[in-house]
Structure 1
Amino acid sequence: MESTVVRPFVTSDLEGAAAALVAVHASDGYPVEGVADPEGWIQSANVLAAWVGELQGRIVGHVSVMRPQGEESAAMWMEQSGDDEKHVAVLARLFVVTEARKHALGQQLMQAALAWAREHDIRLVLDVLTKDAAAIRLYQRLGWTKIGEASHSFGDNQRADAICFVAPEA
């Protein structure tokens, strides 16, 4: 059995995480932005915590918990729940290379982020493009609840439909 590990992101992981991001973009078209500067996109100043997934010692996945930066899901959840920005964060930058998906690393990465959020009394939200059907199925299978729909803006005035989710309660 191939060995998988999910652990906190450290700066020395940046090159491997960026390479994994570029590979995921090539196979899936995710993300729709950030690929021109994958290291900058991964290591945003808005990251509160992040993890990587390894397979046989190679970084093959990543996830971040980030401060809200105007995401529709954060605004929707704060309006629906009454939570403030101190208690809401965004699950973001989740990706796993194709050959590592059979190891449930996406789920393991999400579980690490959820555990961190619960320890910090934070509710996670996310926006996912409707084109990313496998990701939507994963969120639903893990108990995330749809809270609305939005339009994601990126690039030169491009837009794509998105679904907003909130994490299950602790």
Structure 2
Amino acid sequence: MGTPIIRPFNESDLPGAAAALVSVHATDGYPVEGVEDPEGWIQSPHVQAAWISESDGKIVGHVSVMRPQGEDAVAMWQEQSGDNDDHVAVLARLFVLQEARKHALGEQLMRAAMTWAQGQGIRLVLDVMTKDTSAIRLYQRLGWIKIGETTHTFGDDQHTDAICFVAPEA
């Protein structure tokens, strides 16, 4: 694998990002939704900004910042902080291909999103399923603060425990 770069997502990245998403789902079970229409899931109309990691012309990672859509993490943070939807966004759709891990790409993608959000005066929140322990370790290492716990509902009324986090202050 060549030296990966992080750059803003553009329309021509969609097929490669969708293929990477399907691959990550096959190896990690993440995401639990969106795999049946990976392009639609990645290119949601709620995306405010997104970045990819690319190596040798192949998309190997992705992250996006999304407008709030009633997520528990958003509600928890708004209740705790008093922020409104104009000042909160959701870090979402973070994934890195298995063969591209160990290059800190997840961290670099998150830092790109965090830097963008700080520049916009937006506080990022997220929820992560408790089974995704390496993601939880990454968030904690980057200073994200646990703000609560919830149950993530997906698919045909399936449920799994999740933890809600808020990004550190700028």
Residue-pair matches, total: 170
The answer to whether structure 1 residue 95 and structure 2 residue 95 are counterparts is yes
Q: CA RMSD in A?
A: 0.8
1:60 paired residue number: 60
2:121 paired residue number: 121
1:10 paired residue number: 10
Amino acid corresponding to residue 118 of structure 2 in structure 1? R
What is the deviation of 1:101? 1.1
2:83 paired residue number: 83
1:160 paired residue number: 160
Q: Deviations over 1:117-136 (max 9, x none)?
A: 01100000000000100100
Secondary structure at 2:75 match in 1: helix
The answer to whether structure 1 residue 32 and structure 2 residue 51 are counterparts is no
CA distance in 1, matches of 2:166, 2:57: 32
Q: Deviations over 1:25-53 (max 9, x none)?
A: 00000000000000000000000000000
Runs of at least 5 residues in structure 2 that lack an aligned partner in the other structure: none
| Length-normalised TM-score, structure 2 | 0.98
| Length-normalised TM-score, structure 1 | 0.98
Amino acid corresponding to residue 16 of structure 2 in structure 1? G
CA distance in 2, matches of 1:80, 1:158: 28
1:46 paired residue number: 46
Secondary structure at 1:102 match in 2: coil
CA distance in 1, matches of 2:36, 2:47: 19
Runs of at least 5 residues in structure 1 that lack an aligned partner in the other structure: none
